[in-house]
Amino acid sequence: MIKTNETNIKELESEKEAPIDTVKLPVLEEMMRVGLFMGHGKSKTHPRMKPYIHTTRNAMEIIDMDMTLDALEKALEFIKSKVIKGGFIMMVGTTPVAKEIVKEYAEKMGFPYVVERWLGGTLTNFKTLSKRVTYFKKLKDDKASGKLEKYTKKERLDIDREIVKLNTKFSGTENMAILPQAMFVVDATHNMIAVREGKKMGIPVIAMMNTDLNPEIVEFPIPCNDRTKEGIKWVMEKLATAVGEAKSAIPEVKEVKK
């Protein structure tokens, strides 16, 4: 296993043909520290991902963090351009290591999210699934208002089970009235169905992906280790900061005095 320490960046810099920008150095060191540089084994590397590989050590690919940072910054600028115009991003992260982090930051940013199993048709059959979401919300409202008291104990128990099941499916998307302006996917390999649906619906996809995948399948690939909790959280923090900046830049709509 490749260890991260204070000398890693200097070692990698000495191997590069061009020196690393000293302004970027602190950020690159952070990326190294959270393990974003670790790719898969060389035998799994997708040919189109090779430009993003810095070197190979112990048969493991080392991702070029300088290029990853550039890719991340490009993606964040795109996201900011959507948010400034009032758009929103759909967050997807269903792997065990990603789901809690993605949920936390999606809620913090006010974005819809999917952290359980992706339901086929979430985007491509949006109208039909929206009807199920409406039904789910009605059940919750009826329970909260006491309208379910007219049913028998068994019937109420069945409805409670239905609410729990639907909550697992729709809790992160129940307030998504329209399709998102973009998708941010953590671990594109694991969430390929979501990526394909986004592509089919013409929704730009930003994705954290490791070295085993073709970066050209999405509009904004972010080559990195997408299965480290620290790395995912680091990227989510950068995303949240960018979204916060974009929201603060949205012009306020002033009321016209009559």
In this prediction, residue 10 carries a pLDDT of: 57
In this prediction, residue 9 carries a pLDDT of: 55
In this prediction, residue 16 carries a pLDDT of: 56
Mean pLDDT per 10-residue segment, the chain (258 residues): 52 56 85 95 94 92 96 98 96 97 97 95 93 88 86 87 88 93 97 97 98 97 96 98 94 58
For the domain made up of 7-118+179-249, give the CATH fold.
Rossmann fold (3.40.50)
In this prediction, residue 232 carries a pLDDT of: 98
In this prediction, residue 1 carries a pLDDT of: 47
In this prediction, residue 12 carries a pLDDT of: 57
For residue 257, the SS3 value is coil
Tokens of 15: 């191997």
Residue for token pair 């979204």: 243
In this prediction, residue 257 carries a pLDDT of: 55
The residue type at 134: T
Beta bridge partners of residue 216, listed in sequence order: none
Q: Show me where the domains of the chain are located.
A: 7-118+179-249, 131-170
10 Å Cβ neighbour count for 5? 9
In this prediction, residue 119 carries a pLDDT of: 92
- Reference 170, options 205, 118, 125; nearest CA is 118
Ramachandran class of 219: left when φ > 0, alpha when ψ lies in -120 to 50, beta otherwise? alpha
Q: What predicted TM-score, i.e. pTM, was given to this entire model? A: 0.87
CA distance 109 to 37: 26
- Reference 28, options 46, 4, 44, 58; nearest CA is 4
| 80-103 exposure pattern, b = at least 16 Cβ within 10 A, e = fewer | bebbeeeebbbbbbbbebbbebbb
